Amino acid sequence: MTEETKITEEITASEEVTATEETNVEAAQEEQAPEAAATEATPEVPAAAAPVAVEAESVNQADHLDVAVIKKGVTVKGKIVKIDADQAFVDIGYKYDGTITLRELSSVTLENAADAVTLGQEVELKVVSINDAKEQLILSKRVVDSEKAWTELQAKLESKEIFEAVVAEVVKGGLVVDVGLRAFVPASMVERHFVEDFTDYKGRTLKLRVKELDQEKNKVILSQKDVLDEEFEVNKKSVMEGLKIGQELEGTVQRLTPFGAFVNIGGIDGLVHISEMSWQHIDHPNEVVSEGDQVKVQVLKLDPQNDRISLSLKATQPGPWQKLGSELQVGSIVTGKVQRITNFGAFVEVAPGIEGLVHISQVAHRHIATPHEVLKEGQEVQVKILDINPSDKRISLSIKDTEEAPAGSEKQEKPRSDSRGDRPERSRQPKSDYVQQENQKLTSTLGELFGDKLSKFK
């Protein structure tokens, strides 16, 4: 027997009962009529059963309306009156309360019904099933929310509206949020930077924008990264306009790379190259800072067109030349470490952050073609300070002056010979005297050869 047939039979039975009661009332009135005619002083007694018939009719009409309206697929409104761990109970004005199971409360997985509704909350629901015999009325909040969500999300996609939603689940490849539908935020669309572990994102509120919507495939893709990128561009322009070369700022170390550290200053990142991390030589930025450290940096260069900001950490700290004390004096001998070797010499660190040059001529007593013949990087050597120039940040050093010269290393100078043999070089004399003497020699020689012939022309 269908529900509608059952309802029809109940209504018919109710009508038959009402008709029978009305017939009984009329018969009672006819029996009382002769008695009323015989005694005129006796007032006419009104029919007492008539109100009963009216009351019964009202109840039947109310029951008829309830059963007709509350049926499967109908949308109703109600108030949450009780919450259990796995279900919630709703008063919708029916003869008994309806039930919302955990699955019908939300499109996302819930651990407790209280995560979706609260006591006294007004909700709109869809009737899933009804069984008056067992007094079971199953309702769904999820279906109503889902129907509304598609319309709302389509409007947000077209308007590019930004809205907020709470992360309900952390799943493989991203996050799930409840927007009336089960929506997905891919891992690549959560932040502007790479996130390795999303465990602590559950319960966070994200600022989102609809990225993709496909109702036929029940597909909803959202993005927070698009929102953050837009905010970053607006903020970046504002920050860049306020920066000046030489300005010192507080920043936070965001990430480290082999070539330097990226520091966030006012919402945008600048690069501190490894050469600007410390006054001393370092092999990796992690020797100086760690991610999350608060540091003071100085602006070195600005390149707004390429979105580049060059920063310096060491420029905000006292340099080694500023701290240079009396331990380094001209003529003193100190221990240093060879940092770099070039063809013209070697750079030796004689104090933290202070390097001096040992020219190739000051490396050894003997002749060498390149400093690599006697030195290697990292080697500790004794050096003598030949000269210090703090303004130019230069120190001249010597290794050979710290060593004793080997015997016979000084060669005797030999007189230079001219191009015609081993004859000693002529003693130096003024050029004009030398030319005059040569001319005289040339004149005397010509006279000896052609004297007799030249005399004929006298």
pTM for this entry: 0.49
Task: State the Cα–Cα distance between residues 237 and 51, nearest whole angstrom.
Answer: 82
pLDDT bucket at 5, cuts 50 / 70 / 90: very low
Q: Looking at residue 247, what DSSP letter applies?
A: -
pLDDT beyond 50 at 281:
yes
205-228 CB burial, b ≥16 within 10 A, e <16: ebebbbbebeeeeeebebbbbbbb
pLDDT bucket at 280, cuts 50 / 70 / 90: confident
Q: Which of the four CATH numbers 3.40.50.300, 1.10.3720.10, 3.20.20.190, 2.40.50.140 does domain 243-316 have? A: 2.40.50.140
Q: Topology of domain 333-402, per CATH?
A: OB fold (Dihydrolipoamide Acetyltransferase, E2P) (2.40.50)
Judged by DSSP in three states, 370 sits in coil
Helices marked H in 73-182 — which ranges?
102-105, 141-159
pLDDT at 451: 52
Q: What does the pLDDT look like over 248-275, one tens digit per residue?
A: 999 999 999 999 999 999 888 999 999 9
388 and 395 Cβ atoms separated by less than 8 Å: yes
pLDDT at 251: 94
Burial of residue 139, with CB atoms counted within 10 A of its CB: 0-12 exposed, 13-18 middle, 19 or more buried: buried
pLDDT at 116: 86
Q: Topology of domain 75-144, per CATH?
A: OB fold (Dihydrolipoamide Acetyltransferase, E2P) (2.40.50)
Q: What is the mean pLDDT of residues 310-327?
A: 79
DSSP 298-344: EEEEEEGGGTEEEEESGGGS--TTTS--TT--TT-EEEEEEEEEETT
Q: What does the pLDDT look like over 49-77, one tens digit per residue?
A: 333 333 333 333 334 444 446 889 899 99
pLDDT bucket at 46, cuts 50 / 70 / 90: very low
234/159: higher pLDDT: 159
Task: State the Cα–Cα distance between residues 265 and 316, nearest whole angstrom.
Answer: 15
DSSP β-ladder status, 136-140 and 163-171: unpaired
Task: State the Cα–Cα distance between residues 211 and 221, nearest whole angstrom.
Answer: 5
pLDDT beyond 80 at 227:
yes
375 and 345 Cβ atoms separated by less than 8 Å: no
pLDDT beyond 80 at 110:
yes
Question: Where is 125: in which H helix or E strand?
Answer: strand 122-131
452/330: higher pLDDT: 330
Q: What does the pLDDT look like over 154-204, one tens digit per residue?
A: 999 999 999 999 999 999 999 999 998 999 999 999 998 889 999 999 999
Architecture of domain 160-228: Beta Barrel (2.40)
94/318: higher pLDDT: 94
Which tokens belong to 140? 């769904």
pLDDT beyond 60 at 30:
no
Share of the chain above pLDDT 70, in %: 72
Q: What does the pLDDT look like over 360-385, one tens digit per residue?
A: 999 999 999 999 999 999 999 999 99
Share of the chain above pLDDT 90, in %: 51
pLDDT bucket at 324, cuts 50 / 70 / 90: low
